[in-house]
Structure 1
Amino acid sequence: MGFEEKIVKLLWEEGKFTEELLEICEEAPDDEDFVLLKMKLTDEVISFKSENCFEALEQLRHYLEQKNIQIQCNGAALNVYPSPMALSMGIGRLAYKLHLGRQAKMEDLVDIFNCDEDLKFVTINEQLNHYEDWLKSL
């Protein structure tokens, strides 16, 4: 099925930006029930496999966070989070831009690997906390 290459920006601890190639494979070569994300980072190739793109991206983000690197893509933004249904039914490629006090709508859907420059990119915990705040605000 789908194989795609995307250029994503990384913000390093020292404040420098780099652009890296992210490979998105909707069916992992060794297991078609999983998606695979792969990226070359400095001198190593890192890859993460999960049941959906959002969870694989979280694994990648967790790895990067340990190295004080922030990925700049919609899936790492403060107010972007997938619905439970989107995760269970699809490959987790789309997530909602959330607005406190308002239900998410179809027009709020964004591709987690694209980068809307007006978003604030945060850690996994900050994103999860904001999602929980959004749920409480409804």
Structure 2
Amino acid sequence: MELHSIFLIGGADDETATLRAEERDDACNLELSYRGKVIAASADDFFEALCMVRLGLESDGLLLFCYGSSLNVYPSGMARSMASGKVAYKMQEGRHASKSDLVSIYAEGPDVIPATVSQQREYFNAWASSERA
């Protein structure tokens, strides 16, 4: 089991949530605890479970401040199958993602751009259909 403390965007200053990640019974399980509430999700990979948790969080007007919730970060199919979706690529318009662009979905950095699940998917789809050098 892994525990991660993640800042909430849209909440009070320095407000955090606790994310518990655990692989159990061939499923990737997440539980997000915040403000006395818990959102739980189970999926084939941790990125998909994180998206499910984020959708519940969005109903409270909150976003997570981590790479897994960043506008320009999305996992490849290989990252989803081989790393259970725990890592994803930082994408940049006009270029292919490379191994050096891999980040933990639970980590944070100065280049995180908090986004909703739908904004993140739209960005990924636009990037995937664009020409890249």
The question of a shared fold, defined as TM-score above 0.5 by the shorter chain, is answered with: yes
Shift in Å, 1:133: 1.4
- What residue number does 2:15 align with? 18
Q: Percent identity?
A: 33
On the 8 A contact 2:75/2:89 being kept in 1, the answer is yes
**Number of the residue aligned with 2:75:** 82
Once the two structures are superposed, what CA deviation does each residue of 1:33-52 show, in whole Å capped at 9, x if it has no partner? Answer: 10111122212222111111
Runs of at least 5 residues in structure 2 that lack an aligned partner in the other structure: none
- Tell me, in whole angstroms, the C-alpha distance in 2 between the residues paired with 1:107 and 1:83: 14
Shift of 1:69: 0.5
| Structure 1 gap ranges (5+) | none
Partners of 1:55 and 1:46 lie apart in 2 by 14
CA distance in 2, matches of 1:61, 1:95: 16
Q: Assess if the C-alpha contact under 8 Å between 2:90 and 2:102 holds in 1.
A: yes
Q: What is the TM-score of this pair, normalised by structure 2?
A: 0.90
Corresponding position of 1:70: 63
SS at match of 2:6: strand
Cα deviations by residue, 1:30-87 (Å, 9 ceiling, x for unpaired)? xx21011112221222211111110000001100111110111101101100012222
Distance in 2, matches of 1:40 and 1:126, equals 23
Post-superposition offset of 1:129: 1.1
Which range moves more in the overlay, 80-89 or 93-102?
80-89
2:91 maps to 1:98:
yes
TM normalised by structure 1 equals 0.87
Partner of 1:5: 3
Q: What RMSD in Å do the two structures reach over aligned CA positions?
A: 1.5
- Aligned residue for 2:39? 46
Question: Which range is displaced more, 33-42 or 107-116?
Answer: 33-42
